[in-house]
Structure 1
Amino acid sequence: MTIESALGVRAAAPPPRVPVGGGAGARRGRPPPPPPSLPSNSDESSFLPKSYESIRASDIQHKAFPSAFTPSAIALYQRADGGKLTADDERDVARITTELGQKHIDQVQKVVPGPPSKDGKYTMTLVQIDKKTAGQPVQADAAKMLRDDVGQLTKGTHLQVKLGGPAAQALDAQDASKAGNALIGLGTFAIILVSLLVIFRAPILAVLPLILIALVSAVAKGLIAYATKLFGLQANDSVSSILIVVLFGVGTDYFLFLMFRYRERLRAGDEPKQAVINAVARVGEAVASAAGAVVIAFLALSLSTLGSLKQMGPALAIAVTATLVAALTLIPAVVSLIGPKVFWPSKSWQHEPRGASFAALGRGVQRRPALTAAASGLVLVVLAIGALGFKANFDLASGSMPKTKESMVVQDELKTAYSAGAAAPTDVYLSSTNGKPLDKSAFAAYTDKLGAVDGVASARVSQLNKDGTTADFTVTLKYEAATDKAIAAVDRVRDVAHSDAPAGTEAVVGGLSSIYKDIDTAVDHDYRTVFPVAAVLIMIILGLLLRSVVAPWYLIASVGLGFGATLGATVWVFQGLRGHSGLMFLIPVIVYLFVVAIGTDYNILMIARLREEAREGRTPREAAGVALRHTGPTVAAAGFILAATFATMMLAGNALLKEMGFAVSFGIAIAAFVMAMFFTPSLTALIGHAAWWPGHADRALPEAGSESPADETPDGPVRTPSKLHN
């Protein structure tokens, strides 16, 4: 997976645009691979709205300077002995550049020589690839051919060559993604299989969800591909890794919700088929509400400014919807056919263990709800303090693949050889607003003002379009393009460029740092839009489920605390212990969606059971104790498996997925083992009947008289078959 390609950001550090001429002519290409199931596009103009300044600057560049380009691939040369390049070496590079252009590789439009480094140890060949296919597999294919061909052409010389740039990064990330997805898939499969074997000691039950969810996965991917074409969406590789864990993690959650309740109904004396019916009737509403919360949260991503998130949302929502349908239809049908043999060879379904640990936990919450709420709340608050130290990191390329990949080595060497700022310059495009040629006499003063901005190393006029109506001022920053300092500096450059533009002109600032600045702005917009919309919609779902106005407020507040605790713990681990300069800027959005959406599943399951127990006539404290006794094992098992499946993302070997895997798995663990198991039931017990105002959904129903709180043993209630009341 490459988040930088999904965002369409040129994550390489290319040298300045170079005016060139000529074309590729007829092109040589290999047979095209089979078409992908999901089309992909990573042109930045497709992922940031055209209203953003960096995109407007890109449009001006293309119109005013059509012969200039930012290379899609960079062949970087150096001597094998590390010394300065000789005249013979330079002639070899010129020959290689010419011959590489004559090969007419598919998608390659221009091949031109690049500037040498100041120390004379490096030089380069710049390659322009068709921008219309940016991010698509054909560009990675072109990069592979370029890498092979330039390597062959360099043989017999004293040169070493490496291929970098966005197209090469896409190729390397594609290879890393395949390996990462394989590890994630195998890890997810192994965790679910082993965990279910340990929990149920039943091989059929351990294998069954994997088979059923695999079928759902195939259907979901087909639906996503169909929806992508039908609604003109643009899918990307950023969905693939997350889709694996969402389908198998959430699918296993819903499977567990049903199986634990099915086993409980069998223990209560229901006939096998009736036990399935009762299980679906009792837990189905909670499962549907939980899935609804997840779908709503994912669909809220459609409000995002960033294309990667905007397009990820509907895809994941479709996957969860397919999983929900299977959970309420396919899974119960299969379990009904198999019957109690699904638990073979274990006999645990025939009787409930006495003295179970969750019964003890339930009694503890029942006796001391205030202490439990205070202790669990304190844990969340302390962890949430760490979120105040969050810093965003925009180095997407380094975060999305190992530093040892060839394109990453090229990026690092470019920074060293050509200086951090020079590797990705900022461009100020000054255009006439009245269609008349620009006054060149004002250029010097304007250049001086740009060069005097804090964080700018130099500024110069690099080119003027043929009509003289647009000038390109190349501004070199002192800092690497993706750093906080560079983003802050480009913000100051924009202020000066706009305010000091000569009369009758308009200035627009572009370049890689400018793109990152706009992405930063877009993410801030998403924080203010996606977060509250998702929260409000989830609260509505909770209100409809619980027929309450009070409960949704403290439930969503607890989930908010869980979000803060998760982000805080991730900051402490990666920025503190591991010394990262910051977390990938997408982490808060991802954490919010997964912790708020999927983490709400456990709160919904627990609160629904609290309501069920209260309807049977138990006091709020008794209901909390009994609910924890019966639902605690389900929440613990589901939370552990889901957290572990998300943790497999840390196997992918890149910083982004490591941070994402840790954050989401930790957040799921917090949601299951702190919020749902202790904070929610204890707080509900303290609030009492007022938690269900104004609907009084905790009041006993007339037809629920067959079960009574009087049917108690020292370890909890003895379940007997009863009429359905849920």
Structure 2
Amino acid sequence: MFQGIGRFSVNRPWLVTLGWLVAAVALVVLAPQLKATSDQSEFLPSHYESVRAVSLQQEAFPQGRQPAAIAVFQRADGGKLTDADSKDVVEVASGLQAKDFPKVDKVVADPSAVSPDGKVALGYVLATTDTAYDQALVESVRKLREAVPGQLKGTELELGLTGPAATALDAQEGSSRTDAMIMMATLVLIVVLLLAIFRSPVIALLPVLIIWLVFLVAMGVIGIASDVTGLEASSSISAILIVVLFGVGTDYTLFLLFRYRENLRQEQQPKEALAAAAGRVGETIASAAGAVIVAFLALLLSSMGMLSNMGLSLALAVAVTLLAALTLVPAVFSLLGTKAFWPSKSWRKQPRHTLAERVGRLASRRAPIVAGVTGALLAVMAAGVLGFKAEYDSESSMNSELESVQAMQDMRHSFAAGQSDPTMVYVRAAGDASLDEEGLAEYRTALAGVDGVDTVSPAQLAETGDVARFSVVLDFRPTQDQAIDLVAGDLRETAHAAAPEATEQYVGGTTAVLADIRDAVNRDYALVFPVAALAIMVILALMLRSLVAPWFLMLSVGLGFGGTLGATVWVFQRGDDGLLFMLPVIVYLFVVAIGTDYNILMVARLREEIREGRDPREAAALAVKQSAPTIGAAAVILAGTFGVLMLAENSMLRQMGFAVAFGILLSAFVMATLLVPALTTLLGRKAWWPGNRAAPESPETGADPVDEEEREPLAPVRTP
């Protein structure tokens, strides 16, 4: 099949290229845009208590909205607010209210919302929409900010906007800047590295143009999936898509070009060499991409909408990249022929691969030592995983100079830490009964008695009289670990145990959402990890026709995962600060899936050498010599593209960039180049059972060779 696809693309390059161009234009014009959201509550299933609390809030208190944004007033000199300042606060709020911004219902100043130290007063931006992340509302917050300086003239006040809508605005603006920076840095990195490898400006620039076209097609496909399935992407998905598409796309292009150049050096004609390369590399690329795709699709099993949506988006993107690698890339290089390598002449010369040859000899001749040392190194790094601490505070990852972050810090200096976003407790009477005021007063007292609770508001009754709401201000920041532990533990337990009889109780709000997210993520760890590993092992077994090789390959990748996460803990985790709570899932999927790509390349070449009659030791040495340059070049480019995320303002993107880049380099230069060849040498012919009974065994392994009559013919699989 892959031979046929390769010949078709090489022999009809104009048709294939034109087809991709038409598809790209059509999708850019017709496909809907991705719907971005930062509202974490939308990512949880409906059975979680915090989500049910949101539903009850909308049903019982349709007009009782939480502020979409909070205006934090303080004097410019940092002193206490005077009576004149308090009047100015009201006038500023009234002036902003008069401007009538879309989706903004009211801008009000609360005379009672003055901090105990008298230094901060609060105003509230109430919206006409249920979600503070509505794009029109976020845009209105931008216009509110622009209008603030004019309203403050003649006063001694400063004003900063914070809260959900203001935070969403800052996150979007930061994401746009990050995307542009990451795109530029990624392009420069890929061009420079390709130029250094091939010494050809054509090859340095052409893959970037090809992958940009693939990026447009992939975004269109994801947009259609978004429209059909209701998919919503998190605010960071575009940055991740950029590095995945350009990184993986460059990798697959390199796999083809290295084999194409190898065939040209054997004096094959350009079209013949390219068609043969596309056919031989096709199965390897398809297997490698398949491992990545199934790993991403495993995220669909996540109870977190944020992860499942990300998994579907990335799987679709890699699938489009695979299709381009099998069709568009051969077609474009068929049009250019050997001119693609201009002005370099190095494609005509056989390389020495001196370093790769030495590494191959080391891995094959000192297999027990290499396997032991690399395994021990990975195990030592993996020990850092024991200190991993999940961080659920998304605000802590944002730039501290942003207005929403600074205003929130100013408010927390003067108010209780939880004042900005109270936890909401709802009580609903069963049936048609009404709630008893005396019982609600006792319930309020019980809630206020929980250690870590600052204040509890009096019960607010719904018009129907069967639902009451309490606003609970905590001593901790809403996204702080202590707040999450408190809500998930003592507060929820008290809310359920001390409630009036014949009632239902729900604890909601941001902190409750984060508590439920923590439970969901822990559940996902136990499900997504093994499913992804099992799916990848099935692909390896089918590709290698072996039941043994997948086990030691996944063992090596598992060690790489542990080593990667452990190293990230040591580099980034300081004091009470934790790491992105999704980091283990992301590292597992990227390192396991993409790291398996390099293992597939190496082990497929090992099998090829074995089938040509070489003993395991010789096969390992030759496989490393031939494959290590391809793996090394691909890994450096892919790791570089993910490493670009370390330039982002968001600390969580920086953590992700380091972890994935480090894991890819570890997979390529330690696991694929050293550990896997060493283990394969140690196992000998047993590594290929039951699909490679024709492989002769060297005297050093202690196994008997197989007679020619007993051998079964098997189709060779070649790799770059």
With the length of structure 1 as denominator, give the TM-score of the two structures.
0.89
Matches within 5 A, 1:518-667: 518-576=516-574, 579=575, 581-667=577-663
Would you say 1:72 and 2:51 are equivalent positions?
A: no
Counterpart pick for 1:352 among 331, 350, 353: 350
In the TM superposition, what whole-angstrom CA distance separates every residue of 1:183-238 from its partner, at most 9, and x where no partner exists?
11111111111111111212111111111111111111111112211233223432
Q: Judging changes above 3 Å, is the alpha-carbon distance between structure 1 residues 275 and 618 closer, same or farther for their aligned structure 2 residues?
A: same
Q: Judging changes above 3 Å, is the alpha-carbon distance between structure 1 residues 698 and 328 closer, same or farther for their aligned structure 2 residues?
A: farther
Q: How far apart are residue 162 of structure 1 and its match? A: 1.2
Q: Judging changes above 3 Å, is the alpha-carbon distance between structure 1 residues 676 and 136 closer, same or farther for their aligned structure 2 residues?
A: farther
Q: How far apart are residue 456 of structure 1 and its match? A: 2.8
Residue aligning to 1:300: 298
Distance 1:164 1:697 in 2: 68
Counterpart pick for 1:90 among 86, 105, 109: 86
Distance 1:521 1:697 in 2: 48
Q: How far apart are residue 532 of structure 1 and its match? A: 1.4
Distance 1:355 1:228 in 2: 47
Q: Is 1:294–1:317's contact at 8 Å kept on the other side of the alignment? A: yes
Matches within 5 A, 1:179-198: 179-198=177-196
Q: Is 2:32–2:223's contact at 8 Å kept on the other side of the alignment? A: no
Distance 1:369 1:285 in 2: 28
Distance 1:433 1:418 in 2: 36
Distance 1:450 1:76 in 2: 28
Counterpart pick for 2:478 among 468, 481, 492: 481
Matches within 5 A, 1:259-658: 259-354=257-352, 356-399=354-397, 401-491=398-488, 492-576=490-574, 579=575, 581-658=577-654
Q: How far apart are residue 146 of structure 1 and its match? A: 1.1
Residue aligning to 1:720: none
Q: How far apart are residue 309 of structure 1 and its match? A: 1.5
In the TM superposition, what whole-angstrom CA distance separates every residue of 1:559-595 from its partner, at most 9, and x where no partner exists?
111111111111100114xx56100111111111111
Distance 2:475 2:443 in 1: 19
Residue aligning to 1:11: none
What secondary structure, in the 3-state scheme, does the structure 2 residue paired with 1:398 have? helix
Q: Is 1:611–1:698's contact at 8 Å kept on the other side of the alignment? A: no
Q: Judging changes above 3 Å, is the alpha-carbon distance between structure 1 residues 132 and 698 closer, same or farther for their aligned structure 2 residues?
A: farther
- Which residue identity lines up with residue 670 of structure 2 in the other structure? V
What secondary structure, in the 3-state scheme, does the structure 1 residue paired with 2:458 have? strand
Q: Is 1:574–1:580's contact at 8 Å kept on the other side of the alignment? A: no
- Which residue identity lines up with residue 317 of structure 2 in the other structure? A
- Which residue identity lines up with residue 113 of structure 1 in the other structure? A
Distance 1:462 1:658 in 2: 44
Matches within 5 A, 1:131-150: 131-132=129-130, 134-150=132-148
Moved more, 624-633 or 195-204: 195-204
Distance 1:139 1:377 in 2: 54
Structure 1: 5+ residue stretches without partners: 1-33, 701-722
What secondary structure, in the 3-state scheme, does the structure 1 residue paired with 2:668 have? helix
Q: How far apart are residue 44 of structure 1 and its match? A: 4.6
Distance 1:559 1:301 in 2: 19
Distance 1:373 1:650 in 2: 32
Distance 1:257 1:249 in 2: 13
Distance 1:129 1:444 in 2: 30
Distance 1:164 1:590 in 2: 30
Give % identity: 51
Q: How far apart are residue 133 of structure 1 and its match? A: 5.7
Q: Is 2:97–2:107's contact at 8 Å kept on the other side of the alignment? A: yes
Distance 1:725 1:385 in 2: 38
Residue aligning to 1:8: none
- Which residue identity lines up with residue 482 of structure 1 in the other structure? T
Q: Judging changes above 3 Å, is the alpha-carbon distance between structure 1 residues 456 and 134 closer, same or farther for their aligned structure 2 residues?
A: closer
Q: How far apart are residue 268 of structure 1 and its match? A: 2.6
Structure 2: 5+ residue stretches without partners: 1-29, 697-714
Q: Is 1:50–1:56's contact at 8 Å kept on the other side of the alignment? A: yes
- Which residue identity lines up with residue 435 of structure 2 in the other structure? L
Residue aligning to 2:684: 688
Q: How far apart are residue 452 of structure 1 and its match? A: 3.2
Q: How far apart are residue 662 of structure 1 and its match? A: 0.7
In the TM superposition, what whole-angstrom CA distance separates every residue of 1:515-560 from its partner, at most 9, and x where no partner exists?
1101111111211222111111111111110111111111112111
Distance 1:238 1:353 in 2: 42
Distance 2:319 2:568 in 1: 30
Residue aligning to 1:174: 172
What secondary structure, in the 3-state scheme, does the structure 2 residue paired with 1:131 have? coil
Residue aligning to 1:5: none
Distance 1:40 1:483 in 2: 25
Q: Is 1:238–1:312's contact at 8 Å kept on the other side of the alignment? A: no
Q: How far apart are residue 654 of structure 1 and its match? A: 1.7
Q: Judging changes above 3 Å, is the alpha-carbon distance between structure 1 residues 724 and 684 closer, same or farther for their aligned structure 2 residues?
A: closer
- Which residue identity lines up with residue 662 of structure 1 in the other structure? F
Distance 1:580 1:610 in 2: 47
Q: Is 2:360–2:620's contact at 8 Å kept on the other side of the alignment? A: yes
CA RMSD of aligned residues (A): 2.0
Q: Is 1:546–1:697's contact at 8 Å kept on the other side of the alignment? A: no
In the TM superposition, what whole-angstrom CA distance separates every residue of 1:609-668 from its partner, at most 9, and x where no partner exists?
111111111111211111100000011111111111101011112211111111111111
- Which residue identity lines up with residue 451 of structure 1 in the other structure? A
- Which residue identity lines up with residue 207 of structure 1 in the other structure? L
Distance 1:57 1:230 in 2: 28
Q: How far apart are residue 438 of structure 1 and its match? A: 1.7
Q: Judging changes above 3 Å, is the alpha-carbon distance between structure 1 residues 697 and 404 closer, same or farther for their aligned structure 2 residues?
A: farther
In the TM superposition, what whole-angstrom CA distance separates every residue of 1:432-478 from its partner, at most 9, and x where no partner exists?
11321122223344333323333333445342223332222333322
Distance 1:92 1:63 in 2: 37
Distance 1:698 1:455 in 2: 70
Matches within 5 A, 1:215-294: 215-294=213-292
Would you say 1:54 and 2:50 are equivalent positions?
A: yes
